[in-house]
Amino acid sequence: MALLRLRQPAVAAPADRSFWLQDIAAAPATTPLAGRIRADVAIVGGGYTGLWTALRIRELAPDKRVVVLEADLCGSGASGRNGGQVHSWYAELDRLSAVVGLEEGRQLCADTVDAIAELEALQRSGTVDMDLRLNGWMWTASSVAQEGAWDRAARMTREAGADRFRTLSAEEIARRTGSGASYAGIVEDRAGTVHPAKLARGLRDLAIARGVIIHERSPVLDIRPGPVVTLRTASGELQAEKVVLAANAWLSALPELRRHLYVVDSQVVATAPVPDRLDQLGWEEGISICDSQQQVLYYQRTLSGRVVFGRGSGNVAFRGDFGPDFNRSPEHGRNNVRELHRVYPALSDAPIEYDWSGPIDCVPEHVPVFDRLAGHPNIVFGMGFNGTGIAQTPVAGRILASLALERQDRWSGSGLVGLARRASLPPEPFRFVGAKLVRSAVRRKNDAEIRNETAPAWTRLALRLMPGSSEH
């Protein structure tokens, strides 16, 4: 059978890694795969999705031998680079319901509420130290065009009988965030922030403690499908009855998946610790904040008093193929620094100590998709988190575990399972050229709307082509 060729992630230079990854003490990597070994289930990718899937499989089937192959270090992908904003899926109940129907949409949202509680329990018991702070997730507007961006999701959440969102006054936003930039919004009180790399590392250690075998620095070069699948790395071979592909944006290497997946990057900066300045502003610890631009601004105050400030960059990867510029961009987060100073003028002299980027796996519906590869029922995949994964990947892990173990339950029967039902994207080079045009139009529209100006008509027209809207 034809080989499935994967791409090798460009490993970031130590200084180009995220603040989060540089902040955690280096732990020895697990040994790379060597020689020929066997597993019941092989998982490609050691981010949140792969690690949660491994944990769920061991919960359901403690006898299964589960092996994770990670190209770099666990958490070196999006999981160790993100904005650390923890919130449930209720903010996307409208999008979820469009794919899975209202009843399951509500159930999946409730599942992410359970996932947040699970994270809290892991932290409280000392099992995973992740600096979780559930002080609220604020979804705000900082211009007229952004006002009410949350209305539909908030209304549907209310109608579902879930008491998740509370309307914010301009005064509460200003008092708690220390900024007057946003003046309307809602808050999910039982949500907040996390240290993403600590979470990834903690999940890795937990998986190892629960019997999962993890080989880091083991990029999978290719996969030979069959009743027993062979995954090949530079120094070894893993044979498994079942394979889970949890390689996020790198799954764009597979043409079958690339038809539905487009990859953009998001850029983040972190200031030096300035806790006293943030105290003076009144910025509370533990809340996460985002606005409602299409290339969303998202920010948090870390435990040590740094500001971590991110935004979708507008960069798109041709054929979903990306290199080191998706680790750290040559622009060095200039746009983010400008936006940081707009939102917090008082921090305009705070030194910027870190900047980094990360790939976002986008699908047009903005909610992930799971399935088996066509013709290969023992190779399953999950992708399309669209920049929202911390409370969502624990749920993804349940779906992927059920698929891999061939269980007939509500997870394997989820409406999120089924690639054929999802929209496909135009072929290259049309997709890249179109996406470039659309993304620069998004940027111009955002910038105009922030000034409460209307974007030019041709910019608005270009946006009608867009296969989704907001992204981290």
Q: Measured over all CA atoms, what is the biggest interatomic distance in the chain, rounded to whole angstroms?
A: 64
DSSP codes joined into one string, 109-120: HHHHHHHHHHHH
Between 352 and 360, CB nearer to ligand FAD: 360
CA atoms within 13 A of residue 419's CA, in its CB half-sphere: 19
Between 19 and 250, CB nearer to ligand FAD: 250
Q: In the numeric block, which tokens belong to residue 64? A: 């299964």
Q: How far is the CB of 393 from ligand FAD (least distance, A)?
A: 5
Residue 178 as a binder of ligand FAD (CB under 6 A): the answer is: no
Q: Are residues 335 and 444 in contact, defined by beta-carbon separation less than 8 angstroms?
A: no
Q: How far is the CB of 455 from ligand FAD (least distance, A)?
A: 25
Residues 6+ apart with CB under 8 A from 338: none
Of these, 358, 384, 394, 467, which contacts ligand FAD (CB under 6 A)?
Answer: 358
Residue 76 as a binder of ligand FAD (CB under 6 A): the answer is: yes
- Which positions from 292 through 351 interact with ligand FAD, judged by CB under 6 A? 298, 310
Among the listed residues 25, 18, 152, the one whose alpha carbon sits nearest the alpha carbon of residue 92: 152
Q: Cα separations (Å) of 176 from 154, 168, 270?
A: 21, 11, 20
The strand pairing partners of 307, in sequence order, are: 301
Q: Are residues 416 and 367 in contact, defined by beta-carbon separation less than 8 angstroms?
A: yes
Q: Are residues 442 and 295 in contact, defined by beta-carbon separation less than 8 angstroms?
A: yes
Phi, psi of 34 (to 5 degrees): -140, 140
Cis peptide before 429 (omega within 30 of 0): yes
Of these, 229, 247, 257, 316, which contacts ligand FAD (CB under 6 A)?
Answer: 247
Q: In the numeric block, which tokens belong to residue 124? A: 């409280």
Of these, 146, 177, 179, 393, which contacts ligand FAD (CB under 6 A)?
Answer: 393
Q: In the numeric block, which tokens belong to residue 131? A: 């600096």
Binding mask 15-34 for ligand FAD (x = CB under 6 A): --------------------
Range 51-67 burial, b when 16+ CB lie within 10 A, else e? bbbbbbbbebbeebbbb
- Compute CA 284 distance to the chain's CA centroid, rounded to the nearest angstrom: 24
Q: How far is the CB of 193 from ligand FAD (least distance, A)?
A: 8
Between 49 and 123, CB nearer to ligand FAD: 49
Q: How far is the CB of 269 from ligand FAD (least distance, A)?
A: 11
Between 289 and 463, CB nearer to ligand FAD: 289
Residue 268 as a binder of ligand FAD (CB under 6 A): the answer is: yes
Position 446: which residue type?
Answer: N
Of these, 69, 153, 343, 369, which contacts ligand FAD (CB under 6 A)?
Answer: 69
Sole window of 57-65, 153-161, 245-253, 447-455 interacting with ligand FAD (rule: CB under 6 A)? 245-253
Between 252 and 378, CB nearer to ligand FAD: 252
Sole window of 6-14, 125-133, 139-147, 441-449 interacting with ligand FAD (rule: CB under 6 A)? 6-14
Binding site for ligand FAD (CB under 6 A): 6, 8-9, 44-50, 69-72, 76-79, 81-85, 219-220, 246-248, 250, 266, 268, 298, 310, 358-360, 385, 387-390, 393, 472
